Amino acid sequence: MRKKLLTAAWLLIPVVLLAVHYGPGQSGLSRDKAALDVHRAVLAEQAESWAEAVQHYANALANLPAADVQQRFQLRSAQAQARLMSGELPEAKADLDGLLADALKNNVDAALVNEIRARLASAEYYAGWLMRLEGATTEEWMAETESARQHYRLLAEQSSKSQVAAQVATSTDYQKNLEAVIRLQRMDLSELKGLPLPKQCKSCSNCSSKCRQQRASACKNPGEGKGKSEDAREKIAKEKQQGAGKSSRSGTGS
């Protein structure tokens, strides 16, 4: 009898292995593939092959299981940053704007939300810089820099409230970025033209036109007369309230 049980157990081993392979094992294989794609993306970034990095991140997202929500947000953030560096500044800015909204809806980790917000603010800052050089109207480029200013201000305020030394140090960086945005807003155009073009702007062309098209497609009620800068202030004020509520519920600062 014991011999029969052992034989039956032995015969079941392939069945169990197949079940693992086509069940939970498949998720593990997908994660392994995604990890390899991320490694390739990082190598591409180190070589400043940004378009290649964007594709590797896309491959990683295709392989990573949908259940890995936090990791998928991290990959989307990294992909948008690589896209920015590849010369697709307006497109990356739009990606980060949508990603931030998704992150807030899904209650992802506060540190990751801050990372996405900081990258969005950076993209808006460089978009404003480039739009000024391209001859955009004050209202157009100011809308981008004002949104960046509001984001950096929120980040600096949130980080300064933390008792964690690393976050306080980060608050200083956010404050410096906030001051840089204000300097850009106040700077004379002739002075701006005398500065070296940031590498985030060098490969981007027609930024003003693309940002104009993005605003036109995103504007559902063009007759209301609200500018993007006003919308940004209202939007970030709501996000600030949401963040405060989330912090009080979770017991952690953001």
pLDDT in tens, 191-216: 999 999 999 998 898 899 999 888 88
Cβ atoms of 105 and 114 closer than 8 Å: no
Structure tokens of 162?
Answer: 């933390």
According to DSSP, residue 222 is labeled: G
Q: Tens digits of per-residue pLDDT, 127-166?
A: 999 999 999 999 999 999 999 999 999 999 888 776 555 5
Q: How confident is the model at residue 171 (pLDDT cuts 50, 70, 90)?
A: confident
Q: Tens digits of per-residue pLDDT, 75-94?
A: 999 999 999 999 999 999 99
Euclidean distance between CA atoms 50 and 44, whole angstroms: 7
The DSSP H or E segment spanning 29 is helix 24-46
Q: Tens digits of per-residue pLDDT, 172-198?
A: 899 999 999 999 999 999 999 999 999
Burial 105-128 (b: 16+ CB within 10 A, else e): eeebebebbbbbbbbbbbbbbbbb
204 vs 169, which has greater pLDDT? 204
Cβ atoms of 90 and 214 closer than 8 Å: yes
Q: How confident is the model at residue 238 (pLDDT cuts 50, 70, 90)?
A: low
pTM over 0.75: yes
